[in-house]
Chain A
Amino acid sequence: MNDKTEDCSEYVVTANEVLSGDTVFRNLQDKWVRGIDDAAVLKCQDSGFVALGDAQKDEHANIVMGAYLVEVSRESGAIRPVHIRERIRALGPTVRADLAQVAQGFSTSEVVDL
């Protein structure tokens, strides 16, 4: 592997739950959670792709749809997507604080009931 060209940003695996349509993230136990702060952070794109391959099995199992990698960074310990689109997708509409992920009553460690 050529280290000079490897993308060593941090990533999380995300998808949408089929039943609810909700945004979900893959945690360290290979479960899907709604809070991004409980997502498994993967160093470098290569390890991200490995995790994504695993996650895609859950697409075939009809649990989630559209799994992909999202680049993230750490902000005061919190995991936050780098791009604004993914940030809004992870945290909820910026115009309805009452509907933001945390305020929706989801425990950040809640595992989607599969």
Chain B
Amino acid sequence: MNMHVTPEPNMYRYDEFDRKFVDARVEQFRDQVARRLDGTITEDEFKPMRLMNGLYHQLHAYMLRVAVPYGTMSARQLNVLADIADKYDRGYGHWTTRQNIQYNWVRLEETADILDMLAGVEMHAIQTSGNCIRNTTTDPYAGAAADELADPRPVCELIRQWSSLHPEFTYLPRKFKIAVTGSPNDRAAVKVHDIGLRMHLNEAGERGWEVLVGGGQGRTPMVAVTVRDWLPEADLLPYLTAIMRVYNLVGRRDNKYKARIKILVHEMGAEAFSAAVEREFAEASRETLEVDARELARISSYFAAPAFETLPAFVPEIEERKLADRGFRQWLTANTVAHKVPGYTIVNASFKPAGGIPGDATSEQMRGVARLAERYSFGEVRVTHAQNLTMPHVRTRDLIEVWQQLRDQGLAEANIGLIGDIISCPGLDYCALATARSIPVAQEISARFADIRKQHDVGPLKLNISGCINACGHHHVGHIGILGVDKKGKEFYQITLGGSSTENSSIGKILGPGFGADEIAGAIETVVETYLNVREQGEEFLQTYRRLGAAPFKEALYAGN
């Protein structure tokens, strides 16, 4: 009899302390829920407790946000996420723009049972809400990308351990988000996070970190400023602590709209802020915080590369299929990425079907990707901030099989990084804060651009949609951004152009007056057609916009008015 053994990827595993802590937290929350239900505590008293455990109340129901630390999970964990969707939700979940998953329909009385299931596979929902340090995010291709300097996940894990229930940083002025990249090609959007960390290597090959502070989106979008070009890795936690202490002490608590660190950096000035951090850094006791090389090595050992085979980079049958089959060729072009090991490829599963809901995943799709990851990717899966899943280590020779199986599950739309790969927040269909719907807009635009040939002709184009000024759909950094607003009870949509979340980050600029719900998709078509008319050979959308500015797009959209 063949026993199927699920491969366990190389990723951080709980030790006894972690396990006991998470189990105890589940029981603590179970007790809090019981006291809420029997009336011992009021909703006002309960709310901060549930938020600390990732439980929101949204437009229709309770919503549970589960952390996927730096977007890395095992197939086993993904199977449990699918089981939770079936048992406690309505058969689906939603990948978020911070590499997490949200369930939209959980019941309060069952939440502790969900957390218990999560704890069984070393997951939880702690610090996915509240004014604390949230899930640290990173490059979804970490540990696999051909262009990375080193795997950033050990440092992400180090930050996770340092920031989890940090007694000093549990009640910050506002929520706090850290992103880390180990590649010069930034896929983690580090310049639009409260703190961004970019790995660099010095001439001796030692790792150091560029520290960026004060980026963010929301109602006051800002690109982060560099406060340190080079920070030795050993100083990472003392330096992060210094930043957090300055923010915690001086950051505004009188106005939640001015409480993020970006406002503090802006109001103090980057130089003065940086000087304050350096003073704190110089004075702080570093004995207990200095990153022990042995500890980092211990954490790093969890992320050792899987047992890659020695394989040829060139696989004739793949090349032949590429020539013969346009669908496969398009998929290879858009949905796969170069791996650092010859003979391997990074594969993206697209959760952006034409006309579909961006980032929604059925339990069946989750199990489907888990099966593929078990068989083809060392049991490892990543959540991307663009709301897709990645299998980081697929043998190139297996690509045809993987493509066919993804296609069977509706996850092979060849649109990663193209206009169909729309990032969208849940918007007014689910979110209590939203002022307009974003999903139907995404659906209509992706349906209009359903022709994959057209999408490939348009080329790389990031279209991001937010249903309110909080910008969970990252509209500020979309090459084309759409912001939904409420105008006298009607949904209205503003277009921004020129945003980017890469190493050349920029905040998009509002193009002009907004459009009604029935006009916005047509307006986006006009923007894209204008680009196709004015682009130069080989020029991508963002390059064209940066060369020409808004004028040709304004002319096309507003000249008749």
Task: Tell me the A residues contacting B by CB distance below 8 Å.
Answer: 16, 18-23, 59, 61-62, 65-66, 82-85, 88-89, 92-96, 99
Contacts and interface: CB of A to CB of B under 8 A. Distances in A.
A17 B490 CA distance: 28
Interface string B101-119: 0000111110000000000
B107 A93 contact: no
Contacts of B364: none
A19 B108 contact: yes
B107 A21 contact: yes
Contacts of A93: 60, 429-430, 439
Interface residues of B, number: 30
B90 A19 contact: no
Nearest to A82: B489
Given A88-B429, A95-B429, A19 B37 contact: yes
A105 to B, nearest CB: 12
A38 B361 CA distance: 34
Interface string B431-475: 000110101100100000000000000000000000000000000
A85 B429 CA distance: 8
A89 B60 contact: yes
Contact of A92 (B60, B62, B107): B60
Interface string B176-209: 0000000000000000000000000000000000
Nearest to B62: A21
A85 to B, nearest CB: 6
Nearest to A91: B60
Contact of A94 (B90, B435, B437, B490): B437
A43 B442 CA distance: 39
Contacts of A82: 489
A62 B57 contact: no
Contacts of A61: 39
A70 to B, nearest CB: 13
B229 interface: no
B60 A23 contact: yes
Contacts, number: 68
Given A82-B489, A95-B429, 16 more contacts: A18-B43, A18-B108, A21-B61, A23-B60, A59-B43, A62-B36, A65-B43, A85-B428, A85-B434, A88-B59, A88-B437, A94-B440, A95-B439, A95-B440, A99-B90, A99-B105
Contacts of B489: 82-84
Interface in B335-390: 357
Given A84-B491, A94-B437, A95-B439, A22 B36 contact: no
Q: Which of A22, A23, A93 has the most CB of B within 10 A?
A: A93
Contact of B37 (A18, A83, A84, A85): A18
Nearest to B356: A95
Contact of B36 (A16, A18, A95): A18
A23 B106 CA distance: 13
B107 A62 contact: no
Given A84-B489, A93-B429, A99-B90, A62 B108 contact: no
A20 B63 CA distance: 11
Contacts of B430: 93
B428 A22 contact: no
Contacts of B37: 18-19, 62
B428 A84 contact: yes
Contacts of B38: 62
B39 A89 contact: no
Nearest to B491: A84
Nearest to B111: A21
B57 A20 contact: no
A77 B211 CA distance: 61
A21 B443 CA distance: 28
20 contacts: A18-B36, A18-B43, A19-B107, A19-B109, A20-B61, A21-B106, A21-B107, A22-B61, A65-B43, A66-B43, A82-B489, A83-B489, A84-B489, A88-B429, A93-B429, A94-B440, A95-B357, A95-B437, A95-B443, A99-B90
A50 B10 CA distance: 61
A61 B60 CA distance: 21
Contacts of A22: 60-61
A20 B330 CA distance: 45
A59 B44 CA distance: 11
A18 B106 CA distance: 12
A1 B439 CA distance: 45
Interface in B32-77: 36-39, 43, 57, 59-62
Contacts of B428: 84-85, 88
A21 B439 contact: no
B516 to A, nearest CB: 13
A82 B486 CA distance: 14
Contacts of B440: 94-95
The 4 closest A-B pairs by CB, nearest first: A21-B62, A93-B429, A21-B61, A62-B39
Nearest to A93: B429
